[in-house]
Structure 1
Amino acid sequence: MTRVLHIITGLDRGGAEQQLLLLLRHLPVTSEVAVLTGDGALSPQIEALGVPVHRIGMRGNTDLAALPALVRLIRRGRYDVVHTHLYRACVYGRLAARLAGVRHIVATEHSLGTGHIEGRATTRGVRRLYRATERLGTVTVAVSPTVAERLAAWGVPRARIVTIPNGVDAAAFAYDGEARARVRARFGLGERDFVVGTVGRLVPTKNVDVLIDAMAATAAAVLLVVGDGPAAAELRARAARSPAAPRIVFAGETGHVADALAAMDVFASASTQETFGLGVVEALAAGLPVLYAVCPALEDLPAGHAPHAERLRADAAAFGAAIQRLAMRRPERFAPPPAVEAYAAGVHAARLAALYGAAPAPLPDPAPAPAAVGSRTAGSPHERDSHAS
């Protein structure tokens, strides 16, 4: 059976990390995982699947000791494929795989936005390093046509880009009435409260501040914010200054997104920097009506695939009016729409497995990239170890 080593920057509960966990449950290959930075909340879940997790212990973006450690791991494991996820892992992982003699190197681009990649500004140096190491791989997987176009605009040859959207396990998000009651009780929410919720890493690009400000436009709803991140303190302070402060609840990070969605009556995302919009698709799988600003996963599908999702301007007035309208009619939960089936996890895993089995194209000799890896560009202070996408 094909042996695959997945290399990822961290294993906290970000979108890319959750996608890796989902893949490991469905991929018909033998998988192992190497995590560059420490450990993470998802490591025990991955190991519970019987998948070994190798901890590289990287101390910072420019910790070059990670490179020979990865090379030794790859040579010892005799993997058929190395699959990298997230910027730092792609930079180090592609180079290590080439130095170890692996001929089939796949990278998934999860988080390339407009003007940023995983929170770091896409400076000329970042783009140059990305392109230099991309050439060491076999193929780059874009999680949406939107990301594929961004990669091409960066100068990645279209022949080296394959679009394989993120996957969703719809059954995992089926509505659970007991979970709804349990989560609501935990956060002091009543049975009749109309709960607007959002899930994701609390970073500026998610525009959670728009949802907080929108609550002032309606007295008929409660906002449940699920997630954590560097913007959490600022968002909590903003909520405390709002006239709607008593109706804004911060739940923190959770490993049970399905339970959080069960507690909601509508899902809202004001983010304008999505590469896929996984949270929106998961909310649709949970049967929720959705208000969103940007979601390539829906925008890349034909019209009618998500009839209960409404696209809005990313401002408080638009979201406030829509929330008020929904609160007045209190919609029932819906059956998951065709958009959810379009992104079935099994289909996603099967396409990746086929990609692993494809004969890799001839590759050039490794470029002298170690010096670039150790540059200040690779050590951008904007990099985080986990990200929502």
Structure 2
Amino acid sequence: MRTIQVVNVRWYNATAWYGVTLAHCLQKAGHESLVAGLEGTPPVMKARELGLPTVALPFNSQTPGGLLTLVRGMESLVREFNPDVVNCHRGEAFILWALMKKRHGFALVRTRGDRRLPRGGFVNRWLHCRAADAVIATNSLMTRHFSEALHVPSDRLYTILGGVDTARFHADRQAGAEVRRRYGFSERDIVMGLLGRMDEVKGIRETVVALAKARKMSPEAERIRFLVIGFDSEFTTEDVSRWAREQGLGDLGGIVTVTGRVEKPEEVINALDFGILASLGSEAIARAALEIMASGIPLISSTTGVMPDLLDAQYCFAPGDTQAMAERMVQALNEDWRAGLAQVCVDRIFKGGLRLEDFLEASLNVYDRAIHSARRTSAS
């Protein structure tokens, strides 16, 4: 099978990771895959780093000249690569792929890994219900929206949450112990970690506020140390330091620590006693959650995006609800509770079809059905 993964994203976010990772899995399994994106962007550079063939085109252009260049480039790409499947991970230029599909005979797939729900309207309904041979949603909320609002037929609608590299992200407590020593954590400390970019949507500030509340709720919560596994982005390390001081948690390096950029996040994850995903929105694809869960680390989370598909409500809290967050932190002080949740997390990955191997198999099954659908449509 020959596939084009269209990943016209300007940064390496979860959508880009999903598309590039899928292309890499397909290529390793013997299915020739190409990543098409925007020149000079992290997704294209990451694909090249992984040894994948790439093509850069102005997919997001809205100028007449840019659109002409894009159409010519797409035509040339399809003629030369002759794909069986084109999978669009963004909506820009999707209509152009739809118009090209009948002439070139490939199956068209739309994967939606964006937290924003698609709008209705004739064009969107035509694109998703008629032009696309398959629509993949990365969480059940998006699947329901496609079904109820856009009326995508059930035989064309699929949910694939993604997958995690369990060869890389797995329990390694020896590596974790070394990381704990490096950051000065003691055996008595209970280390809570948040993995993600330091942007407002990730809820780092709210986590600091919740930790201060937890310390007032239970004397034992004074054992909790908060490790932010991230580096300066929309917010900086100084911002986190200021929030900690405002909440009476002192300067960085004590109760709250920021790692900065780390080369091996899998080792730092193993230093945690429990993880927290405090996102206020986003998480249509929860890469960090999968990595923490696969490492056998218990995870508490907000209910945003895909998280209700990964964790039961008893381990979650509403986005931004710092009181509920604090209550979950206090629960996590109990070692038996953490052990039970850790097993839930591991089972969800290994028994719930969330390994990279499962991701590949599920995607290939959809592609196979999409190809048959495209052939039936062409024949009719």
Structure 1 SS opposite 2:332: helix
> Residue 207 and residue 84 in structure 1: after superposition, are their counterparts in 2 closer, same or farther (change >3 A)?
same
Match of 2:212 in 1: 216
* 1:136 correspondence with 2:131: yes
More helix as a share of residues: 2
Match of 2:219 in 1: none
Contact 1:13 1:255 in 2 (8 A): no
Contact 2:137 2:160 in 1 (8 A): yes
Deviation (angstroms), 1:184: 4.5
Contact 2:302 2:317 in 1 (8 A): yes
Match of 1:39 in 2: 41
Quick one: which amino acid aligns to residue 321 of structure 1? Answer: E
CA distance in 2: counterparts of 1:242 and 1:279, whole angstroms: 26
CA distance in 2: counterparts of 1:156 and 1:49, whole angstroms: 38
1:316 aligned residue (316, 322, 328): 322
Contact 1:97 1:105 in 2 (8 A): no
CA distance in 2: counterparts of 1:131 and 1:250, whole angstroms: 45
Deviation (angstroms), 1:108: 1.0
Match of 1:385 in 2: none
Quick one: which amino acid aligns to residue 223 of structure 1? Answer: F
Map 1:281-296 onto structure 2 (within 5 A): 281-294=290-303
Structure 2 SS opposite 1:172: coil
Match of 1:263 in 2: 271
Quick one: which amino acid aligns to residue 110 of structure 1? Answer: G
> Residue 210 and residue 337 in structure 1: after superposition, are their counterparts in 2 closer, same or farther (change >3 A)?
same
- Superposed CA deviations along residues 183-242 of structure 1, whole A, max 9, x for unmatched, are 4466x3424342211223444443333212112222332222234686324954545644
Q: Number of residue pairs matched?
A: 347
Quick one: which amino acid aligns to residue 135 of structure 2? Answer: T
Map 1:181-200 onto structure 2 (within 5 A): 181=177, 183-184=179-180, 188-192=183-187, 193-200=189-196
Match of 2:218 in 1: none
Deviation (angstroms), 1:258: 2.0
Quick one: which amino acid aligns to residue 56 of structure 1? Answer: L
CA distance in 1: counterparts of 2:181 and 2:56, whole angstroms: 38
Map 1:106-255 onto structure 2 (within 5 A): 106-111=109-114, 113=115, 116=116, 130-131=124-125, 133-134=127-128, 135-159=130-154, 160-181=156-177, 183-184=179-180, 188-192=183-187, 193-217=189-213, 218=215, 219-227=222-230, 231-233=234-236, 236=240, 238-239=243-244, 241-244=246-249, 245-246=251-252, 247-252=255-260
- Superposed CA deviations along residues 333-385 of structure 1, whole A, max 9, x for unmatched, are 94553211212321221121122223124559xxxxxxxxxxxxxxxxxxxxx
Rg larger for: 2
C-alpha RMSD of the superposition: 3.6
The percent identity for this pair of structures is: 20
- Larger RCO (CA under 8 A, 6+ residues apart): 1
Quick one: which amino acid aligns to residue 360 of structure 1? Answer: S
- Superposed CA deviations along residues 140-193 of structure 1, whole A, max 9, x for unmatched, are 11123221102224314234322233222333211224542554466x342434
Structure 1 SS opposite 2:17: helix
Match of 2:70 in 1: 66
Structure 1 SS opposite 2:259: strand
CA distance in 2: counterparts of 1:258 and 1:252, whole angstroms: 14
